[in-house]
Amino acid sequence: MKTQRRVSAAAVALLFGGAGILLAAGPAQAAEVSYEVECIPPAGGGGPVRGTTTVSITAPATAKVGDEIEVVWKTVKPASNNTDLMDLGKDTVKPTGWVKLGGALGTEVKLEGERKNPPIPKNAPMVMSDMKGKVKLTKAGDVTITPGKYDVDFSGFVTHCSPKAAVGVAATIKVTDGDGTTSSGGTTSGGTTTTGGSTGGGTGGGGGQTDFPGKPVEVAFDCGAVVPGGIKTPVTINAKKNGGGFDLTVKTAKGAMASPMALPAGALKPSMNIKLGGADSGTVKVTGPANAEPIPDKAPVSLSDMTGTYKPGKSGKVTLSPDQLTIDVTMTPGSTPINVPCKAVSSGVSLELDTTAQPGGSGSPTTGGAAAGGSGTSGGLADTGAGDGGGLRALALAAGTVVLLGAAVFTFTPWRRLRGTTR
């Protein structure tokens, strides 16, 4: 009876684990292992967190040399719950994990999951998709599978988790030669894995590659009196080759804390200057659309992705770094936008590209003051004047409105200065 219960439990685990076998001569096996990890959030996301994660690894019990099998990692219990800062939206979390193959194969295999998850409320358990990877078995013998480090990517911002104690073997595959023996033989090369994208900060432009993901860099913005304390947020610059140029997409932190008041559609429109370095110089402007839908009271708030095109003026290695951020605020439809310029006082290189000079190509000249569309004056909201009294009165009602960019908040606050001119 106990044996029957164990078999039934294993069958249920396989059914709900979604485990798949690509090519396998034997039945699948699924086993759980728990181990302590330390998770390091992205810059600005708080300090390290320790906890115990439970992982189920599924792989075939037996296979032959030359088989390509699939290993599946299911996170049964995450190391920690979601924080109390914000709700995580649907399909915003992508996990990546690494397993060690011991015994006959001595290598590490990368497993990737889909960006697929239900909405995850504050303080609720993290829910991550199963991670999968393929391994070509090249040597006979027992192959052990041990889970290890893993990353959790939330809309481009990655938390890195690594073991802080010894991890037990989760599964063992008995790999035989073509004649059915398990003695050592065959080649000694390790297994192969599915490949993910480049990790950011890589060099682009050669080898037929078209997509060049950047790495998140922590940027501190000084917005003057408009935003006391400024803004700190990770910024990522991604590029896609388009002929001789590159289409850029710039992302700030996705997700936000609850807004204390309703914001109309079109209230927040971001733009940013991307500073060129290395072989080229100047800036490239990227802009994002305003929020298409109204933002209800207490709903999450974030800035849209910003896009633009870089046409190289010089050949060589060119670095791209986040520079000035500008936010146009329109509190009433049809009113003149209020320009909020935020100077980048600290930044870093997010991406490096290999470029070939194009006719008429070059970065835009670096300019001081506000970005295009701004007044270029230094007084923030107060210097826009009272020509749009209705818009300013509407904006003044937003005193205390808080918008989170990653772990940073900015608050529109110069209402004492505006009060005398808007009544």
257 vs 372, residue with greater confidence: 257
**Which residues contact residue 217 at a Cβ distance below 8 angstroms, ignoring those fewer than 6 apart?**
43, 234, 235, 236, 321, 322, 347, 348, 349, 350
Closest CA to 289 of 299, 300, 303: 303
- Give the confidence band of 1 by pLDDT, cuts at 50, 70, 90: very low
Domain boundaries, the chain: 17-176, 203-422
Closest CA to 232 of 358, 101, 45: 45
Q: Is pLDDT above 70 for 363? A: no
23 vs 332, residue with greater confidence: 332
**Lowest-confidence pick of 15-24, 196-205, 260-269, 407-416:** 15-24
- Give the confidence band of 273 by pLDDT, cuts at 50, 70, 90: very high
**Lowest-confidence pick of 101-110, 232-241, 359-368:** 359-368
Torsional class of 418: left (φ above 0), alpha (ψ -120 to 50), beta (otherwise): alpha
Ranked by mean pLDDT, which of 50-64, 78-92, 372-386, 405-419 comes out on top? 50-64
Sign of CA dihedral 184, 186, 188, 189: negative
* pLDDT at residue number 301: 67
Q: CA of 93: how far to CAs of 121, 254, 364, 422, in Å? A: 13, 11, 36, 44
Is 17-176 CATH 2.60.40?
A: yes
Integer distance in angstroms from the first to the last C-alpha of the chain? 82
Q: Which long-range contacts (CB under 8 A, 24 or more apart) does 162-167 make?
A: 162/37, 162/38, 163/35, 163/36, 163/37, 164/36, 164/37, 164/38, 164/50, 165/35, 165/36, 166/35, 167/33, 167/35
pTM for the complete prediction? 0.45
Q: Is pLDDT above 80 for 151? A: yes
Distance of CA 200 to the CA centre of its chain: 11
**Lowest-confidence pick of 133-142, 160-169, 253-262:** 253-262
Residue with tokens 């205390």: 400
Q: CA of 76: how far to CAs of 41, 197, 230, 320, 369, in Å? A: 21, 26, 40, 40, 52
Mean pLDDT (the chain) is: 73
Residues 243 and 228 sit within 8 Å (Cβ to Cβ): no
Token duo for residue 396: 């003044």
